[in-house]
Amino acid sequence: LAKTTQPISMDSYEGQEVNITCSHNNIATNDYITWYQQFPSQGPRFIIQGYKTKVTNEVASLFIPADRKSSTLSLPRVSLSDTAVYYCLAKAAGNKLTFGGGTRVLVKP
Amino acid sequence: DSGVTQTPKHLITATGQRVTLRCSPRSGDLSVYWYQQSLDQGLQFLIQYYNGEERAKGNILERFSAQQFPDLHSELNLSSLELGDSALYFCASSVDGQAHTEAFFGQGTRLTVV
């Protein structure tokens, strides 16, 4: 089963860039890595997904090295509303989805 | 609003009882996923259905079962409930069951076992 680990928490300030790294071993060779954002009392919300190298959308970038044993979510110029828990998700063989433990990001003014 | 509807929002029941959680996926989505979120275990994948068929199984207990009906809604049945089953149960749906498909989550059902 894929094991995904990520830091428990990170603090940042408004306008800074936040980078969260997730380690995932035993990831399926043809699987994507996905990141979700979760606010209290809400379901997780999709942020970004990638397979290799770099993916960028309107809210984040995702960096995946060639060995795909880790991935880094980059949130540019965070604001107070980005305070949330961020989860990485990977899939192992047999379609078994595994979330990381979540990284609680606190953005301070 | 993700378009995924879960009912009920809250459920309180006693140990040993059985409950059914319901999920209506987004219109057009064929795949449904169930997750359990508790304070000590985080988000745990339980099971996935695609167009009525079981696609993948995660850390789902034998006391739990699920199914997806022809109209694509899904139910998660939890039986012989224990205090440790108290958690948030999320349903998510996606258009297909592939790895690179974005999944949309419902608001969850908060189950409290007393």
Distance of alpha carbon A99 from alpha carbon A89, whole angstroms: 4
What average pLDDT does range A4-9 have in this prediction? 92
Closest residue of A to B41, CA-based?
A: A101
* pLDDT in the model for residue A27: 75
Cα distance between residue A63 and residue A33, in whole Å: 10
Note whether A99 contacts B2, CB cutoff 8 Å. no
- Beta bridge pairs of residue A95: none
* Residue B21, SS3 per DSSP: strand
Other C-beta atoms lying within 10 Å of the C-beta of residue A43: 22
Contacts of B4 in chain A (CB under 8 A): 43
Angle at B25 between CA B107 and CA B40, to 5 degrees: 40
Partner residue facing B99 (CB), from A30, A36, A44:
A30
- How confident is the model over A17-62, as pLDDT tens digits? 999 999 987 777 778 899 999 998 899 999 999 988 899 999 999 9
Q: For all residues of chain B together, what is the average pLDDT?
A: 93
Is A97's CB within 8 Å of B45's CB?
Answer: yes
* Half-sphere exposure for A55 (CA within 13 Å, toward CB): 17
Do the Cβ atoms of A96 and B56 come within 8 Å?
Answer: yes
**Contact state of B58 with A31 under an 8 Å Cβ cutoff:** no
Contact status, residue B96 vs residue B104, Cβ threshold 8 Å: no
pLDDT digits (tens, 9 = 90+) for B5-30: 999 999 999 999 999 999 999 999 99
